[in-house]
Amino acid sequence: MSNTSVNNVVESCYADKRHSVTINYNANIYKCTARDFTKENRAGYINSEGELVWEDNYLERRMNSKFKNKPCQTCRILPLCGGSCSQHAMENEGRDYWIRGRKKRSVKNKTSFVAVRVKSEAANLFFHAL
């Protein structure tokens, strides 16, 4: 797996995690629960041997989709936002797109998370030094 995988993005969506799937009653596999569970939206299925079968290289396309958007590649806050929603990236595959509003909220949440973590680590270092 490459270092640019969305698995490395802090607090990314469950659908961006390589080993996270939703399995429907009929053995269809989905990554995003914000879409209808239709055959057209499925990412794959479980075959009769119980193996996950990804359609059209879906998993790899999804894992890499967020990092192929040209506006994101040149954006200075990409390391904080992580490219936003991979479902949105999949739906805009092959086109440049920009996500307004969500990006601000995403960056605010992630910077708050990092600030709390840094503060916590600093406190731990201080108390261990005593």
* pLDDT for res 87: 87
Which has the closest alpha carbon to 6: 45, 89, 90, 64? 64
15 contacts: CB under 8 Å, gap ≥ 6: 31, 32, 33, 62, 86, 87
* pLDDT for res 10: 56
* pLDDT for res 9: 54
pTM: 0.64
Q: Length of the chain, please?
A: 130
Per-residue pLDDT of the chain (130 residues; tens, 9 = 90+): 444 554 545 567 888 888 899 999 999 999 999 899 999 999 999 999 999 999 999 999 888 887 788 888 888 877 777 777 888 888 888 888 776 655 445 555 555 555 555 556 655 565 555 5
Q: Which residue has the tokens 């890499």?
A: 64
Torsion angles phi and psi, residue 57, rounded to 5: 55, 35
